[in-house]
Amino acid sequence: MSKLELTAEQQLAVERREGALLLAAGAGSGKTGVLVERFVRDVTGRDSQPIAVDEILAITFTRAAAAEMRGRIRERLTDRGHPELAAQVESAWLLTIDAFCARILRNDAVLAGVDPSFEVLEDEVAGLALRHQAWDLTVAELFADPERRDRLIGLLAATDEDGLRESVLSIYSRLRSAGHSEPRMPQPRETDVAGVRERVLELAALTLVALEGEGEGKSVAAARAKAADCIERLGDGSALPVASLIRDWLFDRRVEALKQPPASDFHDSINKLLAEVANQAMRDRVMLLDDLLASFGESYRAAKKRRGVLDYSDLELGARDLLRDHEPVAAFYREKFRRVMIDEFQDTNALQLQIFEALGVENLFMVGDELQSIYGFRDADIELFRARSEAHGRAGEREILSINFRSDREVVAFINAGFGPMHGDSYQPLMPATGEGIVEIDQPAAASEAATELLLCDAAWGQSDAIPAGFKDRLPAGIDDDDAAEALMIAQRIRELCDAGECEPGDVAILVRQGASIAGLVAALQRAGLPAVANSARGWWERPEVADLIAYLRLLANREDEDALFAVLASPLIGVSPDTLALLGYEARGGEGGLDAAVARAVSSEGEGPAAEITDEQRQRLRRGIGIVAAERNVVGWEGPGRLLERVIAETGFDALVARGADGSSALLRVRRLIRIAHQFEARESSGLRTFVDELARRAEIDDRVSDAPPGSASGAVQVMTMHGSKGLQFPVVVLAALGRKGMSAGPSVLVDGDRIGVRLRDDSALSNRLFDFGELDDERKERELAEVKRLLHVAMTRAERRLILSGTVDLKRDWFKDQSVGRPPLVWIAGLLLDPELYSGADGCAEELADRLVEVSSGGWRAPLRVRLNRPGPGSQLSLALIDSAPKLAYSADSDGTPEIVLPAESDQPVRAPTLSYSSLATYKSCGYRWYLKHVLRLPDRDRPSGAGGGDARARGQVAHALLERADLSAAASAPSDDQIRASAAAHDLEPDTAMIVRLRGYIESILANPLRERLERAQREISFSLPLSVDTPSAPMLTGIIDALDISPGLPALLVDYKTDAVRPSDDLERKVADNYAVQRALYALAVLRGSDAEQVDVVHLFLERPDQPVTASFSRADVPALEQQLSEAAAGLIAAEYPVATEPWKGLCGDCPGRGGLCPVPPELADRDSPSAQ
């Protein structure tokens, strides 16, 4: 579809711009193009009177979506000859919902009762830590109250405290998203033990009579006896017996007579009595949940107020209240905005809907797709979209986009035929499109290779010990043999497709529901010689090099952490062999004191147990590694985690070992990122290593979808990501993996809906431990989760352009297809949708039928072919894989008894160091090669700076300025940080700023807010790490690394890279010359990073001196400049690569003041090293 051509559906949606309209837009149907065209026609007046750019409010739900829409609107306006309107788009009200609410609050801060200089609590980790602190304070306050202490102790004892905390915090968030400013829990209903007791007694009597004529069978006789005992115990009106005796009245119902009323009713009534007794006993404690929620809300609000921050719910609630409760405010915005457009309307929650309703703009355009509602865990409510869609449909205010322009017709037909029925009668089929319009598919494709595949991995692979230990050892905990076998199967299939020329690695995306599967998939792809990148935070945290270093920190923080000790022993930090690990495990099980004591005995050569079998070489390796751990544990109290990591990496050569891997450069980048996180923690917190380890665990929980790679560098590599992370993307080949994994969570221990409340106790094996309405609420939760999983799969499948592959592990020894209940793995009900039940005639038959079969999937008039492949081990089975010559060879073969064996090549133990250089390294080397040698080769510490050397405060001021700019709100309505905020940021860098410095730092932010670059800086990514080889043609070339302050890559514009400088500059200084003399290497490095790591054709590198912000120093580079940039950087690094370390030619106090060589090692005379400037005579 040309960007100027619209289908009839799209044309109708574009032209209906008066009044309300809801557009139900299927996946790949061009809904963003419709939004853009409506905006462009409105402001250009193509078919109506023109509307000013700032009279349109467009709401998106992510900054990336807002940036994309801005770029497309600007490009469309430029193409149509309206450059003046295109320029205005930068200041348009095209915002995320939180940015819109923040603007409203800042504009009427006094009326809203908030500080106009508030900051938004954007960091999810910091927000979670603040909520956990508020919870701890809440528990402490209630425990200090004598009237509530006993009930609190009882509640915490009966439930899991962590689960209780997460449940209460989740309910708080959900109720706030529903519009409750101060959430409260519903009270549990009144219990009726007496009423239930009478019903049990009545049914017991009826059962006794009914069973009189049912013979003397064992089960019937037992049931009669139990009914009689019940009547005896309850009939005299005495107190209820204990729960264990009541439970004894339950009976086996396998006999037909016991399955029918009244016996079945009697049985059920006993369970109800048990539940009601438990409800009565726990009611007072459950009522305490309301106190917990209310007290938590107060503590959390107070904590945010102290920090001067608002969270996203605060923004939305505050904006809602202003618009709802202050008519002049609502009237102002109602008159201002002649059009309101809301993208991704299916992701709204009740509070956001209240904001739009309070705004009250009549010309409201809503775009959404019910089947792409996948954010229930973020409190999105699909029922709101359904209700609105129905209402607008009845009013004639709904249109549909059904033509899919993304996927080939075979893929579209398969999705409709195979999965349309699972969405029910309301499913709107996607319509495939060609250049001429819609193509009806009524026959399977003629080709023997279908565009869609189902790969089934027999669980027997995981049960046959066929997965190579060398591969398994590299996988993080939690990835079992089934996962590993499936990952290898998928890697082989992608390898086959690439070798056949059907795709390149960069065409492929593997999507999973849970991040736990990512690390194994990446490892398998790399084993197959395929470049791969994990675009997921969880995948990042589980990469071996990251997990190893975190395990090391955990071990330092807690010597009793045996999991951490085992991980460190196996990691390159110590690197003992699998045999040694096994011997230590046997020693630990057979001796005293656990693994730590076993290691101690092995190191000391004491005892005659399994540890005595450890070789001398391995024992020496153990001694050295454990010695490092013991020495570092002694300095934990006064060394930050960043320094601890840097030292163990230096002492063990961990970086060199990591660099050996297939993705060595990316692995090194991940190591540096972890160190940077550690240093940021040190700057922010005064607490110790234990707190940092806990924060890392929280970061991993949050899954903020941090990418492994620098911007754009995933091109050329298979991308592995979560299905949620894939939304909005598309790929020629998509693999949905790990569909055989169970995905239904255990759920919260407290559930609330309206006036219903339910609580699950710690031991929920009995119904009586699922209090009040928990069973009903939990069933409803599971049904909602299952429906969302089905929508998530729809989103994932519709990412595919040409080929779609579904994959999962099945246990063919079981009737894996029959149980379709809620909570079963998706592959179970997917197979039920796609395959003929006749194929499930037993394990052997199933295996034979599914080994390699082309089947037809059909429903609702749609038909599509599906290739089914079963990967099953067995006698004579053989699976070969041809790999590129430089990759490790992987082959499957069968040994003499038919058991498959996966053979991997032996690897050299010789480490290959991959040198890494940053701009700061090159700059340090340029100023003095000998100092670089002392610091980076000999690793000598800096000396204390002598009096008058200067630089300390300037460096700290620069760090504070960069920290402020990294977090600054750069929107048009933003203001500079307050004095308190600047002091807090300075304190994190051990700086106590005076008034002059505070004014200076605030001036930096104010200068950016007033700078012509502000709009691009607002949407720019900040603090971006990168790593790239100096030369792509030389494998041994050093890796170049750095951190970019701000980078904006917008469609239709050169990429913009800004580096902030806090150098002291005089009015007379020539800034162009200053950059050329001091920062030319940095400029070349940054330009090369963007041109290599993104699709940008040109990049403008701007050095912005904050002392003279109105004079940016800009240099532009295009792809034609890449060879020259590489040459410039090669020349700058040549001396380092050649290991040449010359002494500075112009020594002076600022350079030599804290040099490790000062006063003995360095040949420079003191009188030169103490000069006040390089040019001093």
What whole-number distance in Å separates Cα of residue 483 and Cα of residue 908? 27
Q: Is the pLDDT of residue 27 over 70?
A: yes
Token couple for 277 = 């007794």
- Is residue 909's pLDDT more than 50? no
Q: What is the mean pLDDT of residues 710-737?
A: 81
Structure tokens at 1096: 């940008």
Give the CA distances from residue 445 to residues 413, 438, 836, 866, in Å, rounded to whole numbers and listed in that order. Answer: 11, 17, 19, 10
Residue bearing the bigger pLDDT, 607 or 161: 161
Identify the DSSP state of 772: E
Confidence at residue 765, expressed as pLDDT on a 0 to 100 scale: 46
At residue 314 the predicted structure's pLDDT band, cuts being 50, 70 and 90, is very high
Q: What is the pLDDT of residues 887-908, one digit of tens each?
A: 222 222 223 333 222 222 233 3
Strands 731-736 and 750-753: unpaired
List the structure tokens of 673.
């990122």
Lowest-confidence range among 6-20, 99-113, 232-246, 1044-1058?
232-246
Confidence of residue 990 (pLDDT cuts 50, 70, 90): low
Q: Measure the CA–CA gap between 363 and 38, rounded to whole angstroms.
A: 12
d(CA 834, CA 841): 16
Residue 815: the pLDDT is 58
- In angstroms, the CA 814 to CA 1164 distance is 79
The pLDDT, as a whole number, for residue 908 is 32
Q: What is the mean pLDDT of the chain?
A: 82
Q: Which residue has the higher pLDDT, 942 or 884?
A: 942
Q: Which of 138-152, 310-324, 897-911, 965-979 has the highest mean pLDDT?
A: 310-324
CA distance 454 to 471: 25
Say which range, 9-13, 473-477, 671-675, 996-1000, has the weakest mean pLDDT. 473-477
pLDDT for 1131-1156, tens place per residue? 988 888 777 888 888 888 888 888 88
pLDDT of residue 791: 95
pLDDT on residue 904: 27
- Averaged pLDDT, 86-90: 90
pLDDT over 90 (residue 808): yes
Residue appearing with tokens 């295109």: 86
pLDDT higher at 106 or 563: 106
How far apart CA 604 and CA 981 sit, in angstroms, is 54
pLDDT interval class at 953 (50, 70, 90): low
Q: With cut-offs at 50, 70 and 90, classify the pLDDT of residue 793.
A: very high
What is the percentage of the chain residues whose pLDDT exceeds 70?
A: 83
Residue 933 pLDDT > 50: yes
Q: What is the bridge-based pairing of β-strands 916-918 and 1021-1029?
A: unpaired
Calculated CA dihedral for residues 200, 203, 208, 213, nearest 10 degrees: -150
Q: Identify which of 1139, 1141, 1177, 1146 has the alpha carbon closest to the alpha carbon of residue 1164.
A: 1146
Examine the pLDDT at 951 and tell me if it is beyond 50: no
Tell me the domains of the chain and their CATH numbers: 8-118+314-404 (3.40.50.300), 121-307 (no CATH), 452-536+718-903 (3.40.50), 538-702 (1.10.486.10), 1024-1136 (3.90.320.10)
CA distances to 109, 157, 291, 562, 747 from 288, in Å: 35, 14, 5, 38, 21
Lowest mean pLDDT among 340-354, 359-373, 615-629: 615-629
One-letter amino acid of 11: Q
CA–CA separation, 828 vs 846, rounded Å? 14
List, for residues 130-153, the tens digit of each pLDDT value: 888 899 899 999 989 998 998 998
The letter for the amino acid at 950 is G
Q: What average pLDDT score do residues 555-580 get?
A: 83
**Tens of pLDDT along 374-401?**
988 888 899 999 999 999 999 999 999 9
Strand 800-810, strand 452-458: pairing: parallel
pLDDT band at 223 (very low <50, low <70, confident <90, very high): very high
- Greatest mean pLDDT among 57-61, 65-69, 617-621, 643-647 lies in 57-61
Residue 328 phi/psi, 5-degree rounding, is -60, -35
Average pLDDT on 608-613 reads 76
Q: The tokens 């209090």 sit on which residue?
A: 771
Looking at this protein, which amino acid is placed at residue 314? D
Q: How far apart are CA 51 and CA 45, in angstroms?
A: 7
Q: Is the pLDDT score of 33 beyond 80?
A: yes
Residue 883 confidence (pLDDT) above 80 = no
pLDDT band at 875; cut points 50, 70, 90: very low
pLDDT at residue 681 in the model: 77
Question: If you write DSSP's letter for every residue of 1050-1071 in order, what string do you get?
Answer: -TTS-EEEEEEE-----TT--H
pLDDT of 600 strictly over 80? yes
**How far is the C-alpha of 1167 from the C-alpha of 1177, rounded, in Å?**
10
Looking at per-residue confidence, does 797 or 824 come out higher? 797
Tell me the CA distances in angstroms from 725 to 188, 375, 390, 535, 787, one per residue in order: 39, 11, 29, 8, 19
pLDDT of 738 strictly over 70: yes
Confidence at residue 939, expressed as pLDDT on a 0 to 100 scale:
58
Q: What is the pLDDT of residue 744?
A: 62
Q: Which residue in 484, 500, 412, 489 sits closest to 455, CA to CA?
A: 489
CB 692 within 8 A of CB 641: yes
For residues 735-741, average pLDDT: 93
pLDDT reading at 678 higher than 70: yes
Give 697's pLDDT tier (boundaries 50, 70, 90): confident
Comparing 110-114, 599-603, 803-807, which segment has the lowest mean pLDDT?
599-603
pLDDT at 877: 37
Q: Evaluate whether 742 touches 512 at the Cβ level (below 8 Å).
A: no
Please state, in angstroms and rounded to a whole number, the distance separating the CA atoms of residues 919 and 1075.
14
Task: Identify the residue with better confidence: 931 or 476.
Answer: 931
What is the arithmetic mean of pLDDT over 639-648? 87
Taking only the tens place, the pLDDT of each residue in 1103-1140 is 999 999 999 999 999 999 999 999 999 898 888 877 78
pLDDT at residue 560 greater than cutoff 90: no
**Percent of the chain surpassing pLDDT 90:** 41
ω into 262 cis (within 30 of 0): yes
pLDDT at position 488 over 50: yes
DSSP code of residue 211? T
Whole-angstrom Cα Rg for the chain: 33
Question: What do you get for the CA distance between the two ends of the chain, in Å?
Answer: 72
730 to each of 171, 799, 800, 822, 846, how far by Cα in Å? Answer: 35, 4, 6, 30, 34
* pLDDT average, residue stretch 875-894: 29
Mean pLDDT computed over 181-207 = 94
pLDDT classification of 682: cutoffs 50, 70, 90: confident
Half-sphere exposure of 320 (CA within 13 A, CB side): 23
Q: Which of 348-362, 680-694, 737-751, 944-958 has the lowest mean pLDDT?
A: 944-958
Closest CA to 23 of 38, 43, 3, 4: 38
According to the model, what pLDDT value does residue 465 have?
56
Confidence band (pLDDT; 50, 70, 90) for 298?
Answer: very high
| 742-763 mean pLDDT | 84
Q: What is the pLDDT of residue 544?
A: 80
- What does the alpha-carbon distance between residue 739 and residue 719 come to, in Å, rounded to a whole number? 18
- Note whether 1151 and 930 are within 8 A (CB): no
User: Tell me: the pLDDT tens digits for 1040-1082?
Assistant: 777 889 999 888 899 999 999 988 888 889 999 999 988 999 9
Q: Nearest to residue 165, comparing CAs of 156, 153, 177? A: 156
Higher pLDDT, 746 or 8: 8
Say whether pLDDT at 821 is over 80: no
Task: Tell me the average pLDDT across 408-414.
Answer: 93
Q: How many CB atoms lie within 10 A of CB 879?
A: 16
The number of C-alpha atoms within 13 Å of 714 and in the hemisphere containing its C-beta is 19
